Amino acid sequence: MTDASLAIEEGNFHSSARQQKHRHDLIDAWLQLSGRAWSCILEVGCGQGDQTASLAKRFAQSKITAIDPASPEYGSPTTLGQSQAALKATPWGQNITFEQMDAVSFAARSKSGKAEKQDIAVLSHCIWYFPSPQILTDTFQALKSTGTRHLALAEWDISTGATSASVHLHSVLLQALPAALRDTEANIRCPLTPNAIREAACKAGWKVRGEMTLKSPDLEDAQWEIYAAKAAIAKMQKAHLKNEDQIALHAHEAALQAAISHWEASRRSTDSLAPCLDVWVSVFE
Amino acid sequence: MTDASLAIEEGNFHSSARQQKHRHDLIDAWLQLSGRAWSCILEVGCGQGDQTASLAKRFAQSKITAIDPASPEYGSPTTLGQSQAALKATPWGQNITFEQMDAVSFAARSKSGKAEKQDIAVLSHCIWYFPSPQILTDTFQALKSTGTRHLALAEWDISTGATSASVHLHSVLLQALPAALRDTEANIRCPLTPNAIREAACKAGWKVRGEMTLKSPDLEDAQWEIYAAKAAIAKMQKAHLKNEDQIALHAHEAALQAAISHWEASRRSTDSLAPCLDVWVSVFE
């Protein structure tokens, strides 16, 4: 199967073949780390359904519940509602149930006997978009409290940006400025490291079963984060920032612009994408 | 003259031969950019006197006034007072007058006829340690108002850290976090780019005469900024930070630690110094 047919076949038209392949690579990693397949899968923070599509295709006999607290109207160029509807219309869409809900609410419903016990809860590239670290902690605790067997995580690793992924890194650091984080509509709001995420999971009673690093430098994410960082700069410049926030923005904007210029000068063609950070993949039990 | 004898000869014992050479390189750059030598030199933010020593040696017939608002008791391992006294005791010390004063006060005294008109005002690696960008602007205006002929600047350039100087860069970016900048005893408090410094000077009526970039990667400054960044981290961790400041600190600390680890893995020996940012050198008139 070519990359292009993979993207079309999965019915998730906003997502590139590269993104789809990455989501399949994540499943391979989680399978390796967990040592088993799953019949009842909960995906937390499913968004447009990139990971959901890959899960549904790989586990055609499984029941997949994909939840996200965002409104069906949210998202661009296609909304969450449109993407999820397109995915539901594919042959494997019948195994997916989308719900607008967070994990804490889902756990409450599960404990009241109104939802099935899950083999695994998947959080794939959604942690950085959580409203706060506290809500991540609450989520880990809620998932543990319902007796979910495994927790499968995938998130970018800030510490891998020191070399080639400096554009991705500085786009994230700029969005990690307090003045950007205070914007409740910001893109990245919880840019935690693997260490901090692991610590939060362990505090909630989860134990590490396995971890690995996945290199996927040629995804579009670094490019998207440049746009998100530039949008954050524009918003901060319009806001009435305190002196220290202005100084911080000035220094970080210069560092980001320099990283972009350096990458532009070294890239092979103008179509090249800025390299992405490595991905930390883990399974807890 | 060997590097070692240069350091000892200048009587400025805390300053390494590399630092002294860099200060002489800066003088060469300013001479080239200004096209002339100076008989009456004002050094603003002289600190321990590293640049003062080099100026006094190179311009033995000139009168040098070196000012700094910091207390003579400030500084480690030697205080400003100790360093300045040691420099005064050298053969060229008789041409130097040290005063505890800022440029705005000096300009006021100059305009009242109690201080000589200066050929040039030198700000060498001191701008980032100004209490705020506003005080830099006030300084540029004050120096212009007294009819000072030239303004000679030297400061690190954040935008040159994208490649080899990532340790220096991330040490600076961490100190440029709002929670660090709010500490009135912080090391770096005004980490402006060349663009912002140039803009402030031009707004104060100065015109660019010339600019250049000086590469001095093997100075100790990046190493010093690692210590300053780690001290800032320790102080922030003890403070009661808001959530957004904690998240920002977490992300920036991870990026700094990764830059340090990456540099440590690639350095030639454990004695190697972390490479420094390039230096922006300019003369205004």
Nearest CA distance, A181 vs chain B (angstrom): 6
DSSP secondary-structure letter at B93?
A: G
Q: Is the pLDDT of residue B5 over 80?
A: no
Q: What percent of chain B has pLDDT over 90?
A: 80
The reported pLDDT for the residue numbered B235 is: 96
Nearest to A159 among B161, B248, B257 (CB): B257
Query: What's the pLDDT at B15?
Result: 67
B248/A172 touch (CB, cutoff 8 Å), yes or no: no
Per-residue pLDDT, averaged over B95-105, amounts to 96
Q: Does A161 touch chain B (CB under 8 A)?
A: yes
Residue B210 CB contacts under 8 Å (≥ 6 apart), including other chains: B32, B33, B34, B282, B283
Inter-chain residue contact A162 with B166, CB threshold 8 Å = yes
Rg (CA), chain A: 19
What kind of fold does domain B3-161+186-218+275-284 have according to CATH?
Rossmann fold (3.40.50)
Q: Do A254 and B158 touch (CB under 8 A)?
A: yes
Do A177 and B173 count as a contact with CB atoms less than 8 A apart?
no
Residue A39 touches chain B, beta carbons under 8 Å = no
The nearest CA of chain B is from the CA of A1 a distance in Å of 39
Walk along chain A (285 residues) in steps of 10 and give the mean pLDDT of each run.
35 68 96 92 95 95 96 89 94 94 94 83 97 96 95 95 87 97 92 97 98 92 95 95 97 96 90 94 98
Does the beta carbon of B259 lie under 8 angstroms from any beta carbon of chain A? yes
Q: Which CATH homologous superfamily contains domain A4-161+186-218+276-284? A: Vaccinia Virus protein VP39 (3.40.50.150)
Contact with chain A for residue B163, Cβ under 8 A: yes
pLDDT in tens, B103-119: 999 999 988 877 778 99
Q: List, for residues B197-224, the tens digit of each pLDDT value.
A: 999 999 999 999 999 999 988 899 999 9
Q: What is the ipTM of this complex?
A: 0.91
What does the pLDDT read at residue A10? 43
Q: What is the pLDDT of residues B226-277, one digit of tens each?
A: 999 999 999 999 999 999 999 999 999 999 999 999 999 988 888 889 999 9
Contact check, Cβ <8 Å, B173/A133: no
Q: How far apart are CA B55 and CA B43, in angstroms?
A: 9
B164 falls in which pLDDT band (50, 70, 90)? confident
Asked if A168 is an interface residue toward chain B (Cβ–Cβ < 8 A), one would say: no
Domain boundaries, chain B: 3-161+186-218+275-284
What's the pLDDT tens digit per position in B17-65?
Answer: 888 999 999 999 999 999 888 999 999 999 999 999 999 999 999 999 9
Instruction: List the single residue in A with minimal CA-CA distance to B245.
Output: A178
Candidate from A163, A172, A258 with C-beta closest to B251: A172
CB contact A131 to B (< 8 Å): no
Dihedral (Cα; A261, A262, A267, A271), 10-degree rounding? -20
Using omega within 30 degrees of 0 as the cis cutoff, is the peptide bond preceding A77 cis? Answer: yes
| Rounded-to-integer distance, Cα A150 and Cα B140, Å | 62
Nearest alpha carbon to residue B55 among B25, B78, B13, B75: B25
- Rounded to the nearest angstrom, the minimum Cα separation between B246 and chain A is 9
> Which pLDDT value is given to residue B110?
86
The verdict on a CB contact (< 8 Å) between B254 and A179 is no
Of A160, A196, A255, the CB nearest to B250: A196
Measured CA to CA, the distance from residue B143 to residue A205 in angstroms comes to 63
A237 contacts in B (CB within 8 Å)?
none
Percent of residues, chain B, with pLDDT higher than 70: 95
Our CA-based measurement puts residue B27 at a distance from the nearest CA of chain A, in whole angstroms, of: 27
Instruction: In whole angstroms, give the CA distance from residue A255 to residue B177.
Output: 13
Assess A32–B contact: CB distance below 8 Å, yes or no: no
User: Residue A279: enclosing H or E segment and its boundaries?
Assistant: strand A279-284
The Cα B36–Cα B256 span in angstroms is 42
> What's the mean pLDDT when you consider all of chain B?
91
> With 0-12 CB in 10 A as exposed, 13-18 as middle and 19+ as buried, what is A197?
buried
Contacting residues for B275 by C-beta, under 8 A, at least 6 apart = B164, B165, B167, B168, B217, B218, B222, B263
Give the helix ranges, DSSP H, for A10-113.
17-34, 50-58, 80-88, 103-111
A229 vs B contacts (CB less than 8 Å): none
Residue of A38, A157, A272, A215 whose CA lies nearest to B258: A157
CB pairs under 8 A between A and B: 120
